[in-house]
């Protein structure tokens, strides 16, 4: 009888521990997709496919509006010398990424994402020239994401506070994270954001923000963590998400920390 009671107590303890352990496990996000691999390129459709193949939590990508309001997936302001935000799409549509793919539109990117069932879409809306333009961009992209029925798989991030606030207003049930690093967790909570998505050096400078964010039930993402030592440091700080150019290495680091 005593042995049975002990077994039941042990089982209850183990069951209670499982959710806590799972909750603390850091999830990996591929920065600009998984592009540091053969045949891929930053923000390419192939980088999204590769991120899905290695089963990361999410694939991050960047979106600009062209001068005539076509959202395209690219990181830099310029592609082959042309400023994306001041150039009509017709002048950009045939430009190639380093892997030979044509510059993808957001619609093309989302259509591919629909065929990849699990990977979260970590959608960075790039800052535009004015607050009004940020709001216009937020409206256009949220309507497209909703129209593609990908809202539940999407999480928005932005450096522009205006864009982040508008994304939250337009899609209040979708996670929105702020990137710029200049607001405390308390300020982010007051704005209704899901959490912070800060450069890891910002978090090293403000180590108290780890505990503050957790106390406020905010999620913590850190970017762009490519150094194995920093990966270990951030995982030990129990960040929710780690964004990296080396997602397979980060997955191994998370696994070894279990």
- pLDDT of the chain, 258 residues: tens digit per residue: 444 444 444 445 544 544 444 447 999 999 999 999 999 999 999 999 999 999 999 999 999 999 999 999 999 999 999 999 999 999 999 999 999 999 999 999 999 999 998 999 999 999 999 999 999 999 999 999 999 999 999 999 999 999 999 999 999 999 999 999 999 999 999 999 999 999 999 999 999 999 999 999 999 999 999 999 999 999 999 999 999 999 999 999 999 997
Locate the domains of the chain by residue range.
Answer: 26-257
Provide the CA 206 distance to its chain's centre, in angstroms.
21
Q: Can you say whether residue 100 is alpha, beta or left, with left for phi > 0 and alpha for psi between -120 and 50 degrees?
A: left
Per-residue pLDDT at 39 = 97
Place of tokens 């999830």: 27
| Dihedral sign computed on CA atoms, order 213, 223, 31, 107 | positive
Q: Cβ-count burial of 50 within 10 angstroms (0-12 exposed, 13-18 middle, 19+ buried)?
A: buried
Per-residue pLDDT at 6 = 45
Per-residue pLDDT at 231 = 98
Asked whether the beta carbons of 245 and 60 are under 8 A apart, the reply is no
What residues form DSSP beta bridges with 177? 157, 195
**DSSP 8-state secondary structure symbol assigned to residue 118:** S
In the chain, what are the helix, strand and coil shares in percent, each to the nearest 5? Answer: 45, 20, 35
Whole-angstrom distance, CA of residue 94 vs CA of residue 81: 14
Whole-angstrom distance, CA of residue 44 vs CA of residue 42: 5
List, as one string, the DSSP characters of 28-52: EEETTSS-SSTT--TT-HHHHHHHH
Per-residue pLDDT at 248 = 98
Per-residue pLDDT at 24 = 72
Whole-angstrom distance, CA of residue 68 vs CA of residue 235: 42
Per-residue pLDDT at 209 = 98
Classify 26-257 by CATH class. alpha beta
Place of tokens 């696994």: 255
Q: Cβ-count burial of 29 within 10 angstroms (0-12 exposed, 13-18 middle, 19+ buried)?
A: buried
């Amino acid at each position: 009888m005593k042995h049975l009671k002990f077994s039941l107590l042990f089982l209850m303890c183990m069951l209670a521990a499982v959710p806590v352990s799972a909750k603390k496990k850091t999830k990996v996000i591929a920065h600009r997709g998984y592009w540091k691999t053969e045949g891929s390129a930053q923000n390419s459709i192939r980088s999204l496919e590769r991120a899905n193949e290695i089963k990361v939590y999410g694939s991050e990508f960047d979106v600009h509006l062209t001068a005539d309001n076509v959202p395209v997936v690219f990181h830099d302001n310029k592609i082959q010398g042309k400023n994306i935000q001041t150039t009509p799409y017709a002048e950009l549509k045939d430009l190639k990424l380093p892997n030979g793919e044509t510059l993808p539109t957001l619609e093309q990117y989302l259509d591919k994402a629909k065929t990849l069932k699990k990977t979260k879409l970590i959608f960075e809306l790039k800052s535009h020239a004015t607050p009004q333009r940020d709001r216009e961009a937020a409206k256009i992209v949220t309507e497209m994401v909703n129209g593609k029925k990908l809202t539940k798989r999407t999480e928005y991030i932005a450096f522009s506070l205006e864009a982040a606030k508008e994304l939250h207003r337009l899609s209040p049930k979708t996670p929105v994270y702020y990137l710029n690093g200049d607001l405390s967790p308390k300020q982010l909570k007051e704005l209704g954001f899901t959490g912070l998505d800060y450069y890891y050096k910002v978090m090293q400078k403000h180590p108290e923000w780890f505990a503050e964010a957790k106390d406020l039930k905010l999620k913590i993402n850190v970017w762009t963590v490519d150094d194995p030592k920093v990966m270990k440091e951030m995982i030990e700080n129990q960040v929710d998400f780690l964004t990296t150019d080396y997602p397979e290495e980060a997955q191994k680091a998370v696994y070894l920390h279990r």
